[in-house]
């Protein structure tokens, strides 16, 4: 089958990219190690490993561009596609920086973003030195491979350092100071090949055990905070010559914003854009990576998005309230897995919260 866009990864983000592409008359082909990947609902699927050159060749045959739906794909897959003459968007530099917390923090610093104090850790002596340098408690985060709170541990006192490192497999890490949080926000952006950039309103996010639970947009923040977040995001996009949707996650502290991490892809905190924005993050990503004009990121309404983690409540299947939208990814349930989400929309924060409250009461 002829496809226009290749996607590394076959999860729910690829599924939603495929759905957005269909509305534009565009076809997608996705590669995933699982033969039961949920992107099969909207994409042609190839089952194979990301580091298999033969699978990459099948994936990109006849397509106009390659993109990816999550960071834990090898940069070698992108380079293999480039060798085959296929445009890769976003580029390998963006993936490399987002996949390594040390590179990511240094990138943030280089463009003037403030970050929590941190030090790299790769030996036992460096681990103990970190306790002296940034103090306890602190967070130990694997440089690569972690998402949704995985590959992280809290070091609560000096006696706990080696236990924490053991829990994440003695991998190369960063030790990061714990900061006083007033909240967490994200800014979803989209940059075209021409450098044209569109910014969605900020979202305010709530996490539990490192997993996003709830996202509210537009976030109730000051104009100054929103301007800083937007300026940082634009600087990041330009520095790495980015193409596509990028999410920048930020900590709100008593002393202002601190950059946490970025995702070089469509993002969970932007799911509400499907219903609440003139152009969803998924459609704009498709537009950007294929060189089409970007759509408006102006909001249509207020929204709250809640993830379904581990199970989809039975009551969600009977939701009939106007302004309520249920998304079931069709994935096999297991603890900690994102199985779907529900979005509530309305013309005011109060009307959205009323819808959400009725749903929560039904659980």
Two tokens, residue 298: 């102006």
pLDDT digits (tens, 9 = 90+) for 75-103: 999 999 999 999 999 999 999 999 999 99
Overall average pLDDT of the 125-147 stretch = 85
What is the reported pTM?
A: 0.95
Q: How far apart are the first and last CA of the chain?
A: 43
Determine the pLDDT at residue 148: 57
DSSP 22-73: HHTT--EEEEES-TT-GGGGTSEEEE--TT-HHHHHHHHTT-SEEEESSS-S
pLDDT digits (tens, 9 = 90+) for 267-299: 999 999 999 999 999 999 999 999 999 999 999
State residue 316 phi and psi, 5-degree precision: -70, -25
Determine the pLDDT at residue 115: 97
Determine the pLDDT at residue 124: 84
Burial class (CB in 10 A: 0-12, 13-18, 19+), 166: exposed
Which of the residue ranges 118-132, 222-236, 266-280 would you say has the lowest mean pLDDT? Answer: 118-132
Residues 6+ apart with CB under 8 A from 216: 203, 204, 205, 303, 304, 305, 349
């Amino acid at each position: 089958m002829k496809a226009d866009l290749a996607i590394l990864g076959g999860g729910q983000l690829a599924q939603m990219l495929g759905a957005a592409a269909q509305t534009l008359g565009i076809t997608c082909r996705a590669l995933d190690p699982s033969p039961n990947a949920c992107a099969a609902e909207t994409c042609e699927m190839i089952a194979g490993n990301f580091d298999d050159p033969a699978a990459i060749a099948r994936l990109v045959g006849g397509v106009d561009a390659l993109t990816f739906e999550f960071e834990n794909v090898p940069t070698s897959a992108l380079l293999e596609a480039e060798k085959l003459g296929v445009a890769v968007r976003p580029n390998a530099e963006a993936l490399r920086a987002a996949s390594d917390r040390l590179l990511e923090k240094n990138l943030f610093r280089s463009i003037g973003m403030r970050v929590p104090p941190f030090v790299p850790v790769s030996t036992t002596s460096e681990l103990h030195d970190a306790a002296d340098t940034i103090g306890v408690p602190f967070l130990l985060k694997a440089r690569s491979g972690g998402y949704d709170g995985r590959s992280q541990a809290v070091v609560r006192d000096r006696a706990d350092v080696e236990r924490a490192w053991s829990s994440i497999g003695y991998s190369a890490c960063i030790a990061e100071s714990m900061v006083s949080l007033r909240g967490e926000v994200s800014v979803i952006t989209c940059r075209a090949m021409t450098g044209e950039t569109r910014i969605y309103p900020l979202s305010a996010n709530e996490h539990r055990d490192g997993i996003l639970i709830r996202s509210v947009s537009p976030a109730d923040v000051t104009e100054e905070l929103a301007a800083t977040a937007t300026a940082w995001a634009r600087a990041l996009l330009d520095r790495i010559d980015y193409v596509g949707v990028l999410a920048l996650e930020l900590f709100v502290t008593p002393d202002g914003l601190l950059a946490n991490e970025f995702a070089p892809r469509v993002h969970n905190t932007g799911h509400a854009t499907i219903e609440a924005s003139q152009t969803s993050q998924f459609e704009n990503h498709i537009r950007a990576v294929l060189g089409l004009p970007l759509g408006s990121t102006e909001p249509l309404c207020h929204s709250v998005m809640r993830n379904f983690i581990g199970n989809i409540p039975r009551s969600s299947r009977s939701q009939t309230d106007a302004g309520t939208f249920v998304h079931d990814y069709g994935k096999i349930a297991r603890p900690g897995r994102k199985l779907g989400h529900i979005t509530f929309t309305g013309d005011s924060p109060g009307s959205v919260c009323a819808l959400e409250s009725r749903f929560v009461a039904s659980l």
